[in-house]
Amino acid sequence: MRNSSFPCSAIRSFFRLCAVVSALCLGCIGQAWAHAQPETQSPVAGAVVNAPQEVRITYDEALEPAFSSLIVRDARGKQVNSAKAEVDATTHQTMHVALPALPPGEYQVKWVAVAADGHRTQGSYKFTVK
């Protein structure tokens, strides 16, 4: 007499294994697509403000301080911050840079955020000092 349950249980086990492997792969892909993105900015993009003392950006992920940067340039493209951007040592999610007294005009903030997982994002925005 043949045991007909063996092939069915082997096939079921194979499909269960495939489902588990697929779920694990999809979880890894989700992590690979994760990039640090700004959540808040100060001053905000497009704002007209009194001269700020700093630019501060908070991200949705922890940053790698050694590879992340924040630069502020005037309308002529000259960098106005002499200090290097710093990443908050507690949360690693906020990067800020001190600014000198800025005269009225338009300024561009250029940022590079490298997440703790090594993924790099970058962007820029402008604000105006009145």
Residue 123 has pLDDT above 60, yes or no: yes
Question: What's this model's pTM, rounded to 2 decimal places?
Answer: 0.75
Work out the pLDDT band at 116, boundaries 50, 70, 90. Answer: confident
Residue 6 has pLDDT above 60, yes or no: no
DSSP state of 44: P
Q: Structural domain boundaries of the chain?
A: 1-33, 38-129
DSSP β-bridge partners for residue 107 = 127
For the record, the structure tokens of 33 come out as 């697509």
What's the whole-number mean pLDDT along residues 19-31? 53
Residue 97 has pLDDT above 90, yes or no: yes
Pick from 71, 68, 69, 88: nearest CA to 79? 71
Q: What is the pLDDT of residues 41-87, one digit of tens each?
A: 999 999 999 999 999 999 999 999 999 999 999 999 999 999 999 99
Residue range 38-129 in CATH 3.40.50.300: no
Q: Are 114 and 64 in contact (CB under 8 A)?
A: yes
Top pLDDT among 28 and 73 is at: 73
Share of the chain above pLDDT 70, in %: 75
